[in-house]
Amino acid sequence: MNSKNDNKKLRESFEQAANIYQQARPDYPEELFDDLIHATNLNPGDRLLEVGCATGKATLPLAKRGFKITCIELGAELAAVARQNLVGMDVDIINVSFEDWQPEAEKRFDLIFAATAWKWVDPEVRYIKAWQVLRPGGHLAFWNADHVFPDDGDPFFREIQTVYYEIGEGISVDNNDWTRPGELHEQRDEIVKSGLFEVVHIRHFDWERIYHVDEYIKLLETFSGHILMEERKRDKLFNEIRVRLNSRPEKSVRRHWGAVLHVARRID
């Protein structure tokens, strides 16, 4: 499988997790949204475009703050769940890929944002299309939720690697590379290289969540690498995780999350 097909398969795999995605995936910190609004000078009523809303994890906090949001979501199941989660909000969800979406000619947005979705959009298309649909002086913002590993973090993740290696999935599953909080990769160079945006703000966030056994398994079931894993491998891995976490007094694991908020202004 070539890398483009591989990426397409990974990108489409989230459909299989639509029914558990909202519950299993972490909420982004409120502070991140406050920071985003401050960096972009947004006001309630401004028009936002979200690329890849999934089930509305990042949509809901911004909709509650009074913004009008158009969401582009590739997955039909994910879009359906998002519509349920966003009932009563000023949100329009369009079931199409960002690459194929045809915007209304006169419609311009104040902000385009993507939460743990920008990496799935074709790099040849994403900056050009974002530039085209933003108003002059409008902003682009994106961030991912990634696993980070503080020095005093839970040792479970290093210990469970022996099982990943046993099943032939090593540390490459979902690109786990023991990055510390504050050390996640910044995409400043990529933004500048587009020639269409200037970086105005970059900030690192980190937060921790405690997952009980079943919650942690559910979380793993929303990751593309685990969704597409062979069933026998996944069964072995999940059984081993259950055994190890159930042997702990608290029957849980502490997982540290990190995000790098990138904000860039459209060059007119």
Domains recognised in the chain with CATH numbers: 3-150+177-209+255-266 (3.40.50.150)
Q: What is the tens place of the pLDDT at every residue in 12-27?
A: 444 555 566 567 778 9
Q: Which 8-state DSSP code applies to residue 173? A: G
Adjacent-strand bridge partners of 93: 71
> Cα separation of 237 and 265, whole Å?
44
Q: Which two tokens stand for residue 157?
A: 């993740």
Which pLDDT score, from 0 to 100, does residue 19 have? 64
Which pLDDT score, from 0 to 100, does residue 228 have? 84
What band does 222 get if pLDDT is binned at 50, 70 and 90? confident
Assess whether pLDDT exceeds 80 at residue 202: yes
The phi and psi torsions of 259 (rounded to 5 degrees) equal -145, 145
What band does 10 get if pLDDT is binned at 50, 70 and 90? very low
Q: Which two tokens stand for residue 78?
A: 């994910």
- Looking at the chain, the whole-number percentage of residues with pLDDT higher than 90 is 78
Of the two residues 120 and 86, the one the predictor is more confident about is 86
Q: What is the tens place of the pLDDT at every residue in 224-236?
A: 788 889 999 999 9
Which pLDDT score, from 0 to 100, does residue 23 have? 72
- Looking at the chain, the whole-number percentage of residues with pLDDT higher than 70 is 90
Assess whether pLDDT exceeds 90 at residue 199: yes
Q: What is the pTM of this model?
A: 0.89
| Whether 91 contacts 65, CB under 8 Å | no
Q: Which two tokens stand for residue 139?
A: 């902003």
Cα separations in angstroms, 61 against 32, 151, 258: 10, 31, 18
Assess whether pLDDT exceeds 70 at residue 183: yes
What band does 105 get if pLDDT is binned at 50, 70 and 90? confident
Left if phi > 0, otherwise alpha if psi is -120 to 50, otherwise beta: which for 66?
left
Q: What is the CA radius of gyration of the chain?
A: 19
| Helices then strands, each counted (H, E), the chain | 12, 8
Read off the pLDDT of each residue in 153-161 and give the average, rounded to a whole number.
95
